[in-house]
Amino acid sequence: MNTEFINVNPESIIDESQKLKFAGYHLIQQCATRVPDAYELIYTFGKDLEMKNLKMTLPEDQEISSITSIYPCAFIYENEMHDLFGVQIKMINIDYEGKLYRTAIETPFK
Amino acid sequence: MSTRSVIPFGPQHPVLPEPIHLDLVMEDEKVVEAIPSIGFIHRGLEKLVDKKDFNEMVYVAERICGICSLGHGLGYSEAVEHIMDIDVPSRAKYLRTIWSELSRVHSHLLWLGLLADAFGFESLYMECWRLREEALDMFEASTGGRVIFSVMKVGGIRRDVSDEMLKDFYQRINKMEEQLNTIAKPFLNDMAVQTRLRGVGVLTPEQADALGCAGPFLRASGIARDIRTTGYCAYGDVDFEPIISTEGDSYARTECRIKEIFQAFDIIRQCIDKMPAGDIDVPVKGMPNGEYVMRIEQPRGEAIYYVKANGSKFIDRMRVRTPTFANLSGLVETLKGCDLADVPILVLTIDPCISCTER
């Protein structure tokens, strides 16, 4: 099973997602991993049984654009990354503003 | 002109014991929009990578959910095995496949029972769950557990199954198949059931694909995407085709799941017939270092396991994307335009597993 990771810049995520959308890929998942002073983000896209993982490093104090304008279903993953890790994502189409998860402490995975 | 109002639905569901909340924007009796809300019982199990080593994390993965327990242990173990380049013995792969299909049987029968309960078909509900007990009995006999099995490990499995027990399973499967033939008839032929399901909550193939749906919810819309066809475990050695329906409505989802139970019986029989002899595990040397995205087909659909390891015994990240998480967007789409009375059934037709979602 192919599990290739493609490194991209956080600034180009809209363009990269657009290209994949035009190529017929659907969104499989988005996830964040904490690394020193930054987040490592992995966006996984699929077409039939093929899979592509876009990987990017986002500095802790930097925002990333939401891809919900291209993949509306991304709202759930992006709200999760925001609520658990504190990843700053702008322009999510359904923004729960930190209330998707009712956690005892704010951004517990940060 | 009709006025709009917002009805809070949940977090209690008429038949589901797990919490999910929907804000339903209504125009008279029609749902115009639905906004899902989860997070009532989020446990943060993924964070336990800080405290449990990569072997112990198998147990954590299994405890994500009581229905999909085996699949979670399997998906995590396979991801670590890919990172460590471990070749699991064939017998372990076949037994993993048998248990995975037994999980599908008991998960789908549980769902069918809940669906019958939602209609008010009490005895049909009991019949489904009585048949499900047979699958749980087989789990108990072979793994020692009925809910949490603790039989997976990195490098193979913890318990072997004797040939006598496999022969017994073969006969039990045949009996279950006969009983399922009887139980399936009301679901597929009863007029009242069809009235509640046909044409309700239709999701087109384009919508299902674009919204990233998974499992029977996706395949009922005519898309033949089944991760088992990638051939992980022993799926590459057995003959099967993804079960699909084309209508994309609630009836199609029911039909898909019923056919998948019959298919699971067939796959189990094939695995028993071809069961290789030999070891059930290999020694694991060293620590994992690298990252991998593993996909498996859980009963409710495609589940994703991302593991990132750093060469120490504690991994950096375990991320599980469950099928219910992927199907929430599809659920919101199917609810648009439906009657208020259909909402409980539609929520049920994605076969939601909130424990998985609130991992």
Q: Where are the domains of chain A?
A: 5-90
**C-beta of residue B16 within 8 angstroms of C-beta of residue B348:** yes
Q: What is the pLDDT of residues B284-316, one digit of tens each?
A: 988 999 899 999 999 999 999 999 888 888 888
Q: What is the mean pLDDT of chain B?
A: 89
| Confidence band, pLDDT 50/70/90 cuts, at residue B1 | low
**C-beta of residue B19 within 8 angstroms of C-beta of residue B40:** yes
The mean pLDDT of B96-108, rounded to a whole number, is 94
| Confidence band, pLDDT 50/70/90 cuts, at residue B173 | very high
Question: Long-range pairs for B254-257 at CB < 8 Å and ≥24 separation?
Answer: B254/B112, B254/B115, B254/B187, B254/B188, B254/B197, B254/B349, B255/B188, B255/B220, B256/B216, B256/B219, B256/B220, B257/B108, B257/B111, B257/B112, B257/B216, B257/B351
Please answer yes or no on whether A73 and B42 come within 8 Å at the CB atom: no
A103 or B186, higher pLDDT: B186
Alpha helices in chain A (DSSP H): 13-22, 75-85
Picking from A26, A34, A41 by the largest number of B CB atoms within 10 A of its own CB, the best residue to mutate is A26
Q: Phi first, then psi: what are they for B286, rounded to 5°?
A: 80, -170
Please answer yes or no on whether B38 and A101 come within 8 Å at the CB atom: yes
| Cα dist from B107 to A13, B104, B298, B300, B302, whole Å | 38, 5, 10, 8, 14
Q: Does A1 touch chain B (CB under 8 A)?
A: yes
Percentage of chain A lying above the pLDDT 90 cut: 43
Q: What is the pTM of this model?
A: 0.91
| Confidence band, pLDDT 50/70/90 cuts, at residue B178 | very high
pLDDT score of B15 more than 70: no
Going from N- to C-terminal start, the domains of chain B cover 42-337
Please answer yes or no on whether A109 and B47 come within 8 Å at the CB atom: yes
ipTM at complex level:
0.89
Res B326: pLDDT: 84
Instruction: Tally C-beta pairs within 8 A across A and B.
Output: 86
- Which CATH architecture fits B42-337? Orthogonal Bundle (1.10)
CA distance B318 to A31: 10
| Confidence band, pLDDT 50/70/90 cuts, at residue B325 | confident
Domain A5-90 classification at class level: alpha beta
pLDDT score of B95 more than 90: yes
pLDDT score of A2 more than 70: no
The mean pLDDT of B227-241, rounded to a whole number, is 91
| Confidence band, pLDDT 50/70/90 cuts, at residue B97 | very high
Q: Does A100 touch chain B (CB under 8 A)?
A: yes
Q: B330 to chain A: which residues are within 8 Å by CB?
A: 73
